[in-house]
Chain A
Amino acid sequence: MLRASLREVSAALKEGHVSPTELCQRCLALIKSTKFLNAYITVVEETALKQAEESEKRYRTGQPLGVLDGIPVAVKDNFSTAGIETTCASEMLKGYIPPYSATVVQKLLDQGAVLLGKTNLDEFAMGSGSTDGVFGPVRNPWSYSRQYKEKLVPKSHPEDEDSNWVITGGSSGGSAAAVSSFTCFAALGSDTGGSTRNPAAHCGVVGLKPTYGLISRHGLIPLVNSMDVPGILTRCVDDAAVVLGSLAGHDPKDSTTVQDSFKPFELPNLTDVSKLSIGIPKEYHAPGLSSEILALWSKAADLFKNAGANVIEVSLPHTRYSIVCYHVLCTAEVASNMARFDGLEYGHRSDMNKSTESMYAATRREGFNDVVRGRILSGNYFLLKQNYENYFVKAQKVRRLIANDFMKVFRSGVDILLTPTTLSDAVPYTEFIKEDNRTRSAQDDILTQAVNMAGLPAISVPTALSERGLPVGLQFIGRSFQEKQLLTVAKWFEKQVKFPMIELEEVKRHDHGVFQHQKSASFS
């Protein structure tokens, strides 16, 4: 049951095969037994069960609110949730209980979704491993899968067994792990430079980054206001479309949502891809791209070609500058966005009391980790009067060039771009922490970051398992506000590759499901 897709379980709820409370209880129990994953920061058992009960009442009277009614979901801990602690995995906001909920959270709740808890992340969403938060790193559920374990070279010392676990990627690692380990049917993440797509690829789930301006950011604690979007993590593409449908649309509380009307859609079952033009950007063959992924990428391209699509090589010449550009713009915005954390109105407050300034400085030293403070400092540097033109404005110009690259390609008739999502499969934690956060982020974001610059929609679809038995995802990038086309193509691809389900001991124990996914020949 827990391994079913959102739509499947929704149908089951409707038909009464399972009740919302039962579903909720099972998920909560699974969360408990997968605690070692450290995917959740806060689990709200009581309120979740209450919500499940309300949902049950509605189902009993035959008046469910919609597809999402009774569906357990999780939300990344940088979304404000009224009455529920929202920490951003930082000392600065430990104990902070927002008096309001983010629009997207409220929308989910209004449709009857059952909020299980808040998921773990890198502090303030800065990072690509979900390892740099104050609650510790998130472990990739695949570290404990049969598929991964059987590929492991047996260690000489048994104590080292536990050190093999791999990261989830980030910064929405908790949400990805939650969906991947079946503790919820959908989760919200955020995506600023790839923070939803990256962990989705590493955890073998679908990660959708919608077009900037489609979904409200009201209540999403910002990293880079001009690039952040709420991200959607689900088990399959159809599910992502459902969640998108319930979240998208103009929000008067967010002036950066577009005022165009949005109509939720159902994805058609595409059979004929011959009218499609798939672009393969050559610059995405980036340094450090593993040969494995390269092979998968070209195989995917062939897949489309063999099915009759027009697959062509394209060029996005400024791709390699997107990380530098992001570095300047991101740190500048971070410097600005973090200025509000001074301990006066909310959050951590230092005991230092000599003057306002010393209190602020101490609060910020105590509340922020090194990564955050480092970015604040750099960002302020780039915003100094003497540096503004040379760095910030320059980066803004490069941003336009990057966005123009995409525009040119889409104008030339390409419908969808196909690229890898990550450079490699998930690395073990012990290896990951050898490099510092900025270097890591710079490396890992190369394939996802430019999309945020241009504000385009993109989705990572689990494609196959690597040689180490870990998931690899591929990314599709679409035109602005053309999510329907993007998801339709992604759905077709998903059907072709038949990505295998994760085989987790814990889940097997919890799940006496009516629904079992068939494990058929996989793509690799």
Chain B
Amino acid sequence: MRVLSVSRWLRGAVRAPSGGPGSPQVPQPGRREREVTVDVLDHLEHLALVDFRDSEGVERLQKAIQFADQLHEVNTDGVEPMDSVLEDRCLYLREDDVTEGNCTKELLKNAKEKVEEYFVAPPGNIPLPKLEE
């Protein structure tokens, strides 16, 4: 019967191979394992100004990279990267009119610290201390 046939090929459909997305990761044999060293983590933390100053951080990142490595299974020869689905559209141009601004009070309202009409930051960009092992 027609009804059954449809469900049959749904049930017997080709399953995605194991090791696909969602299942625990096993590094592919022969693939160079990307080492997340303390240096790399330190570099990232300085660039991103978030920290994960523990082994959990390294592990997390390592897992994330391993997960992302699956991308290399896909053959993308001759494929152009896609920035956005709107890549064939053109940017909307605005007329050169002054339509915003003049809202100093509103802007400063949400700032936790301010001095007169300025936002306030601590002094300079003093580099964060290096991450120890």
Verify B85–A305 contact, CB threshold 8 A: no
* B2 in contact with A301 (CB, 8 Å): no
Find the residue from A331, A348, A377 having the highest chain B CB count within 10 A: A377
**Bound-state Cα–Cα, A325 to B11, Å:** 27
Q: Tell me whether B50 is interfacial, beta carbon within 8 Å.
A: yes
- A226 → chain B closest CB, angstroms: 4
- Answer whether residue B101 sits at the interface, using C-beta atoms and an 8 A cutoff: no
Within 8 Å by CB of A446, from B13, B21, B43, B91, lies B21
Interface contacts beyond A255-B92, A349-B113: sample of 5 additional A-B pairs, CB < 8 Å, sorted by A: A327-B68, A354-B122, A365-B51, A403-B85, A480-B85
The residue on A at minimum CB distance from B89 is A258
Closest to A392 in B: B81
A357-B16 contact, Cβ under 8 Å, with A259-B92, A298-B6, A298-B11: no
Q: Given A99-B109, A325-B71, A381-B64, verify A400-B79 contact (CB < 8 Å).
A: yes
A299-339: CB near B (< 8 Å → 1, else 0) gives: 10110011000010100001011111101100100010001
Distance A252 CA – B7 CA, assembled complex (angstroms): 47
Give A288 to B16 CA distance when docked, in angstroms: 10
A455 contacts across to B, CB distance below 8 A: 85-86
Q: How far is the CA of A438 from the CA of B45 in the complex (A)?
A: 20
> In the docked arrangement, what's the CA distance between A401 and B80, Å?
9
Instruction: Tell me the complex Cα distance, A280–B7, Å.
Output: 11
Q: Is B126 an interface residue (CB 8 A)?
A: yes
Please, how many angstroms separate the alpha-carbon atoms of A403 and B81 in the complex? 11
Give the residues in chain B near A318, CB-CB below 8 Å: 74
Cross-chain contact B3 with A380 (CB below 8 angstroms)? no
> If A320-B21, A438-B64, A446-B22 touch, does A373 touch B50 (CB 8 Å cutoff)?
yes
A286 at the interface (CB under 8 A from B): yes
Minimum distance in angstroms from B61 CB to a CB of chain A: 6
> Residue B128 at the A interface, CB < 8 A?
yes
Whole-angstrom distance from the CB of B98 to the nearest CB of chain A? 15
CB of B13 within 8 A of CB of A285, answer: yes
Is residue B48 within 8 Å, beta carbon to beta carbon, of the partner chain?
Answer: yes
A500 CB within 8 Å of chain B: no
B14 cross-chain contacts in A, Cβ below 8 A = 282, 285
CA A256 to CA B92, docked complex, whole Å: 9
Contacts of B89 in A (CB 8 A): 213, 258-259
Report which residue of A343, A364, A378, A442 has the largest number of chain B beta carbons within 10 angstroms of its beta carbon: A378
**B122 CB contacts on chain A under 8 angstroms:** 352-356, 358-359
| Chain A proximity of B126: nearest CB distance (Å) | 4
Q: Are B86's CB and A256's CB within 8 A?
A: yes
Report A77-118 residues with CB < 8 Å from chain B CB: 96-97, 99
* Contacting pair A376 B50 (CB below 8 A): yes
| Smallest CB gap from B81: residue in A | A396
Chain B nearest Cβ from A94, distance in angstroms: 12
Main secondary structure of the interface of B (DSSP, over half): loop
Q: Does B49 contact A (CB under 8 A)?
A: yes
**Distance of B108 from chain A, by nearest CB (Å):** 9
Q: Is the CB of B112 within 8 A of A360?
A: no
- B86 pairs with A377, CB closer than 8 A: no
The reply to whether B74 and A401 contact each other, CB–CB distance below 8 Å, is: yes
Q: How far is the CB of B101 from chain A (nearest CB, A)?
A: 12
Chain A residues closer than 8 Å to B81, beta-carbon distance? 393, 396-397, 399-400
Q: Which of B1-41 contact A (CB under 8 A)?
A: 2-3, 6-7, 9-11, 13-16, 18, 20-23, 40
Q: Chain A residues near B44: list those with CB within 8 A.
A: 377, 380-381, 384
- Confirm or deny: B47 has a beta carbon within 8 angstroms of a beta carbon on chain A: yes
| Given A311-B6, A327-B68, A347-B110, also A394-B51 (CB < 8 A) | no
B94 touches A397 (CB 8 A): no
A295 at the interface (CB under 8 A from B): yes
Bound state CA distance, A146 and B76, in angstroms?
51
Q: In the complex, are the beta carbons of A397 and B76 less than 8 A apart?
A: yes
**Among A298, A355, A376, which residue has its beta carbon within 8 angstroms of that of B125?**
A355
Interface check A443, CB cutoff 8 A:
yes
Which of A299, A301, A356, A380 contacts B48, CB < 8 Å?
A: A380
B84 adjacent to A256 (CB under 8 Å): yes
Interface hits, A149-184 → B, CB 8 Å: none
Verify B2–A302 contact, CB threshold 8 A.
Answer: yes
Bound-state Cα–Cα, A283 to B17, Å: 11
A395/B71 in contact, CB under 8 A: yes
A339 to B64, CA, bound (A): 20
Which of A213, A335, A376, A384 is close to B86, meaning CB atoms less than 8 Å apart? A213
Bound Cα distance A390, B34 (Å): 12
- Taking CB atoms and an 8 Å cut-off, the chain B residues in 74-130 that contact chain A are 74, 76, 79-86, 89, 91-92, 94, 103, 106-107, 109-113, 119, 121-128
A-B contact pairs, 6 of them (CB 8 A): A321-B74, A357-B127, A373-B50, A400-B80, A400-B81, A442-B22
B17 to chain A, nearest CB (A): 8
Please determine whether B79 and A252 come into contact, CB atoms closer than 8 angstroms: no
Q: How far is B110's CA from A149's CA once the two chains are assembled, in angstroms?
A: 46
Residues A344 and B111 in contact, CB atoms below 8 Å apart: yes
Given contacts A324-B68, A345-B119, contact A294 B11 (CB under 8 A): yes
Instruction: Identify the 7 closest CB pairs spanning chains A and B, nearest first.
Output: A396-B81, A455-B85, A298-B7, A355-B126, A346-B110, A397-B76, A323-B21
**Docked pose: A484 CA to B118 CA in angstroms:** 50
Name the B residues within 8 Å of A283 (CB-CB): 16
Given contacts A345-B110, A396-B81, contact A360 B22 (CB under 8 A): no
Task: Tell me which residues across on chain A come within 8 A of B13, comparing CB atoms.
Answer: 282, 285, 313
